[in-house]
Amino acid sequence: MSFISLIWNSIIMKPMINSLALLYDLLGDNFGLSIISFTILIRLIMIPLTIRQTKQMKKMQELQPKLKAIQKKYPKKDVQTKQKMQQETMALYKEAGVNPIGCLGPLIIQMPIWIGLYRAILKTSPSTPEGFVDLSKYFYSWNASISKIPFNSDFIGIDLVDFVQYAPTPWQFVLPIIVGASMYLQQKFSMSPNTDPRQQQTQQMMLWMMPIMFAIFTWQFPAGLAVYILFSNLIGILIQYYIGGKQPIMLLGKLYLGTTDSRNEYLNKIAETKKNNEENNEEKNEQKIIKENSNGTEDIQRKDSRRSNRRSSKNSRNRSRKSRN
Amino acid sequence: MIHKNLIKASLESLIFYKRAISPYVSGQCNFSITCSEYAQKTISSKGIIKGLFLSIARIIICSLYPIIKRFNLSNKKISLKIFFFFSLLFIICISCTNFSPQGGWSNVVKDTNQEEFYVISDEGRLFQIQFNDQIPMINWSYPEEENGTSYSSPIIRQNSVIGATYKCKGQACQGDIVELDKLSGEVLWKKTIPSKINSNLIIINDTLFVASLNNEKEDKINDASIYMISLKEGAIGEIIGKIPIEGEIWSGIHSYGEENIIVGTMKGMIYSYNVDELLSVKNKKYSEALIFSHKFPHAINSPLAVHNKRLFFGDIAGNFYSIKLEDFKNNQLDKIKILTTNEWIINNPIFLNDEVYLFTLNGDIYVLDFDTNEVKDKFSIDKIVVGDPIILSDASDQKFLIPTEKKGIEIVSNNGFEKGSSLGNYPTDKKLYSTPLIDGRTLLIHTQDGEILFFSIKSRDLIYCLDLNKGSVCD
**Shortest CA gap B90–chain A (Å):** 7
| Total beta-carbon pairs less than 8 A apart between chain A and chain B | 116
What is the average per-residue pLDDT within B177-188?
92
Angle between helices A223-243 and A31-45 (to 10 degrees): 40
DSSP B437-448: EEETTEEEEE-T
**List of chain B residues whose C-beta atoms are within 8 Å of the C-beta of residue A113:** none
**Neighbour tally for A315: CB within 10 Å:** 10
Q: What count of Cα atoms within 13 Å lies in the side-chain half-sphere of residue A52?
A: 16
Do the Cβ atoms of A150 and B266 come within 8 Å? yes
Q: What count of Cα atoms within 13 Å lies in the side-chain half-sphere of residue B176?
A: 20
Q: Per-residue confidence at B127, pLDDT binned at 50, 70, 90?
A: very high
Strand partners, B323: B311
Domain end marker among B95, B115, B137:
B95
More confident residue, B75 or B293: B293
DSSP strand pairing (B126-132 vs B319-324): unpaired
**List of chain A residues whose C-beta atoms are within 8 Å of the C-beta of residue B32:** 87, 90-91, 94
The whole-angstrom separation of Cα A113 and Cα A118 is 8
Strand partners, B261: B255, B273
Residue B444 counted as domain residue = yes
Q: What is the CA radius of gyration of chain A?
A: 28
Q: Is it the case that residue B181 has pLDDT exceeding 90?
A: yes
**List of chain B residues whose C-beta atoms are within 8 Å of the C-beta of residue A130:** 101-102, 105, 433, 448
Do the Cβ atoms of B90 and A111 come within 8 Å? yes
Residue B423 counted as domain residue = yes
Residue B152 counted as domain residue = no
What is the average per-residue pLDDT within B246-264?
88
Q: At B131, is the secondary structure helix, strand, or coil?
A: strand
Interface of A with B in 212-241 (CB under 8 A): 213, 217, 220
Q: Is it the case that residue B26 has pLDDT exceeding 60?
A: no
Q: Is it the case that residue B136 has pLDDT exceeding 70?
A: yes
- B266: closest chain A residue by CA: A150
Domain end marker among B55, B74, B95:
B95
**List of chain B residues whose C-beta atoms are within 8 Å of the C-beta of residue A100:** 68, 75, 78
Number of domains in chain B: 2
More confident residue, B17 or B116: B116
Residue A83's pLDDT is what? 72
From A5-14, B45-54, B56-65, B463-472, the region with the lowest mean pLDDT: B56-65
8 Å CB contact between B86 and A108: yes
Residue B48 counted as domain residue = yes
Residue B262's pLDDT is what? 93
Domain with B41 in it? 2-95
Residue B336 counted as domain residue = no
**Shortest CA gap B430–chain A (Å):** 14
From A155-169, B143-157, B278-292, B434-448, the region with the lowest mean pLDDT: A155-169
Q: Which of B80, B90, B298 sits opposite A202 (nearest CB)?
A: B80
Show pLDDT as tens, one digit a residue, over chain A (325 residues). Answer: 677 888 888 888 899 999 999 999 898 888 889 989 998 888 888 888 777 777 777 777 677 777 777 777 777 666 677 777 777 777 777 777 766 555 555 666 777 888 888 888 888 888 888 888 888 888 888 888 888 878 887 888 788 888 888 777 788 888 888 888 888 888 777 665 555 566 666 667 777 777 888 888 888 788 888 888 899 888 888 877 776 555 545 555 454 444 555 556 666 776 777 777 777 666 666 665 555 555 544 444 444 444 445 444 445 555 555 444 4
CB proximity B362 to A under 8 Å: yes
Q: Is it the case that residue B40 has pLDDT exceeding 50?
A: yes
Single out the residue of B428, B463, B460 nearest to residue B447, CA to CA: B428
Residue B454 counted as domain residue = yes
Residue A258's pLDDT is what? 46
The whole-angstrom separation of Cα B273 and Cα B255 is 10
Which amino acid does the sequence have at A92?
A: L
8 Å CB contact between B342 and B319: no
The whole-angstrom separation of Cα A179 and Cα B422 is 56
CB proximity A298 to B under 8 Å: no
What are the residues whose beta carbons fall under 8 Å from the beta carbon of B366, sequence distance 6 or more? B320, B339, B341, B356, B357, B358, B360, B375, B377, B378
Residue B46 counted as domain residue = yes
Single out the residue of B469, B392, B387, B471 nearest to residue B428, CA to CA: B387
Residue A299's pLDDT is what? 46
Cis bond leading into A197, ω under 30°? no
The whole-angstrom separation of Cα A137 and Cα A9 is 10
Domain end marker among B95, B124, B141:
B95
CB proximity B88 to A under 8 Å: no
Q: What is the CATH number of the domain that holds B457?
A: 2.40.128.630
Length of chain B: 475
**Residue A302 burial by CB count (10 A; 0-12/13-18/19+): exposed, middle or buried?**
exposed
